[in-house]
Amino acid sequence: MSTQDVITVLVIDDSAHNRRTLATMLESEQDVRVVDRAADGEEGLKKVVELKPDVVTLDLEMPKLGGYTFLRLLMRTAPTPVIVISSYSHRSDVFKALDLGAFDFIAKPQHATFDAMEALRRELLEKVRAARHMRPGHRHAAPGARAMAVAGEPPLVIAVGASTGGPPAVQRVLEGLAAEPTPCVLVCQHMPPLFTRAFADRLDRIGPFSVSEARDGDLVQPGHVYIAPGGRHLVVSERGSKLELHTPPPTPADKYAPSVDRLFSSVAEVLGPKSLGVVLTGMGADGAEGTRHIHRAGGEVWAQSEETSVVFGMPGEAIATGAVKRVIPLGDIGAALAAQARRRR
């Protein structure tokens, strides 16, 4: 393997144990090399400038220079992909870090069992490899006014799938959609349990829609956004003249939970030619099979354009099926959805 093929990583964490653990995990594969470690943000910033690593792993709670300040300075002076390593007790913090330019985050396991640590190692390596090839996405605009549900009108249901780079992309889409308050949006964002509730709470506070983590038995309401709960799926079914949401647990065959494929397939089955899916930035191929289902049902799937995707894996795989109707830059998706909603009313 040539030197150019090796991904260089700087590990920043105030815990010596965590630094050793992460370095061992990263260097368990030949294509990753830890160039150095830093115990705080101030030391880390100097080492980024000096060593120019491909990727940085970052603990947010650090002395001298905290994670938020580190990110602000880094993105201003030496923009580098950053993967935040977060505990469940600080799950709300990761979304501010993503706003400040972090590439993605990984949740530390609550219990350091062998299986949990092995899952952490695999996720860490996967995201480090993806981060090296990231495409910088556009900054999302300031939040718009909260939309008000329009009573008495059947909502347009929009199913959205996203993974890496998804939280700010989802926010950007909702901000663009705010001009048309009638749709209901179902979001499948790859994220661990508990983090999805924090994500929903954050979107609900900043607008433009009423946002909540989906619960089993929720009825689809106009002007509402439902976030698939981490570790469970989000699917739609009919209950008389209404649409009902369900959050079944994953099966051993499911690679992702929540799964974009499962969401899209249920929307296709229930809504047929009225189904509409949007595939946003993310690693992997989740959503490609669901795209085929929506297409066969007579509905439409749109995909985020390559130049505006942080990672073009999911949109690219959906486009490769030949079943995507439109490929749209992130900044234009919300307005295009609002126009679609007005046409369908």
Which residues carry out catalysis? 163, 190, 286
- Nearest residue to 313 via CA among 256, 270, 262: 256
3 state DSSP class of 305: coil
Residue 258, preceding peptide bond in cis (omega within 30° of 0): yes
Please measure the distance between the N-terminal and C-terminal CA atoms of the chain and give it in whole angstroms.
Answer: 57
Asked whether 48 and 77 are in contact (CB, 8 A), the reply is no
Q: How many residues does the chain have?
A: 345
Question: Residue 92: exposed, middle, or buried by beta-carbon count in 10 A (0-12, 13-18, 19+)?
Answer: middle
Q: How many CA atoms lie within 13 A of 35 on its CB side?
A: 18
One DSSP character per residue, 122-137 reads HHHHHHHHHHHT--PP
- Nearest residue to 163 via CA among 18, 1, 281: 281
- Nearest residue to 41 via CA among 73, 77, 81, 70: 70
